[in-house]
Chains A and B, each alone.
Chain A
Amino acid sequence: MTTRPELRDTSGLLPAVAAVGLFVVMVLAFVGSPIGPATGFPANAETVNESLGDASLQEDASIVEENGSTLAVVQREGGNESTRLANETGVNATIVASGGQLYGVVSEPVSITASIGYAMFGLSDQAPDAVPAENFLALFEMIAVVLVAALIGAVMLARREEAGTVVSLFSTTDDESGATVAADGGSESDEFDGGDA
């Protein structure tokens, strides 16, 4: 009798229709639900915010870098008034008018990864401009215990003592028969070679 390729028996796939049905129900629920636009993460966080005076001065205000520092300069009738924003140059400084007042603002990008790291160890209050998150220190410790338990469980389940040698975590002891360790997944061992690999 010749052999030929055959289609896989698809009779066992009937329960998958339930999964497809669940997918349809979920998609209908999601598409019909009124979820607003995403808030998103802040791109920048203010590190310096200096008041410069009334918002009507916006036309006369500018950012100036000189002598290794960043200044907000407002040109007034009696002369220029400069406010030091940062003791370095090359920072992201802008003039912002808000609520009738003018501000010199220095901002720097917020690091999402750093914020996750702070949240993981419950240090968010020590981060200067962390994105809000809850304290995960207790969960961190719990997961650490679970991972250790999983490691011990995996070693316990994988250890085998039937075919010749007792293999445990830190010691290997030969038994009297002198047969070798079978690493073939548990087939019958004979007297000389362990399992029939």
Chain B
Amino acid sequence: MAVDVTYYLVLSAGLFCIGLAGILTRKNALMFLMSVELMLNAANINFVAFSLQWGNLTGQTFALFTMALAAAEVAIGIGIILVLYRNFDDVDVTDATSMRW
């Protein structure tokens, strides 16, 4: 028996809002990255849940590609954090207020 899709949607909304709260309240760039990951994975839960809902595997396959995209994003994100630390001696995103130093 399949779980009703509404539960998946509520779980996904919770995960997304936790990620959003993280982005709104934290200043640490690493916490930013983690919060963005939470929001991306909330989208993935929706993809997989609606894949089951309609009996079509497009959603599940797309979720795989979203994971690959998240990996690319983290690679660039950590590179940016490295540069941020090098130039500002901190990973506080509110320190970097200009495009040059």
Residues of A bordering B, CB below 8 Å: 12-13, 15-16, 18-20, 22-23, 26-27, 30-31, 33, 35, 37-42, 112, 115-116, 119-120, 130-134, 136, 139-140, 143, 146-147, 149-151, 153-158, 160, 185-187
Q: Are B17 and A136 in contact (CB under 8 A)?
A: no
Q: Are B2 and A40 in contact (CB under 8 A)?
A: yes
Q: List 20 A-B contacts (CB under 8 A).
A: A15-B25, A18-B20, A30-B9, A33-B6, A35-B4, A35-B5, A37-B2, A38-B52, A42-B55, A119-B61, A131-B55, A132-B57, A150-B71, A150-B72, A154-B78, A154-B79, A157-B76, A157-B83, A160-B86, A185-B85
Residues of B within 8 Å of A147, CB to CB, are 68, 71-72
Q: Which residue of A lies closest to B24 (CB)?
A: A15
Q: Are B24 and A143 in contact (CB under 8 A)?
A: no
Residues of B bordering A, CB below 8 Å: 2, 4-6, 9-10, 13-14, 16-18, 20-21, 24-25, 52-58, 60-62, 64-65, 68-69, 71-73, 75-76, 78-80, 82-83, 85-87, 89
Query: A40-B52, A134-B61, A139-B65 known; 16 other A-B pairs, CB under 8 Å?
Result: A13-B25, A18-B24, A22-B17, A23-B13, A23-B14, A23-B17, A26-B9, A38-B2, A41-B52, A116-B64, A120-B64, A147-B72, A150-B72, A153-B75, A160-B86, A186-B86
The majority secondary structure among interface residues of chain B is helix
How many residue pairs bridge A and B at CB < 8 Å? Answer: 133
Q: Are B58 and A119 in contact (CB under 8 A)?
A: yes
**Interface hub of A12, A119, A150, A185 (most chain B Cβ within 10 A):** A150
Residues of B within 8 Å of A120, CB to CB, are 61, 64
Q: Are B57 and A119 in contact (CB under 8 A)?
A: yes
Q: Which residue of A lies closest to B56 (CB)?
A: A132
Residues of B within 8 Å of A186, CB to CB, are 85-87, 89
**Interface hub of A19, A33, A130, A151 (most chain B Cβ within 10 A):** A19
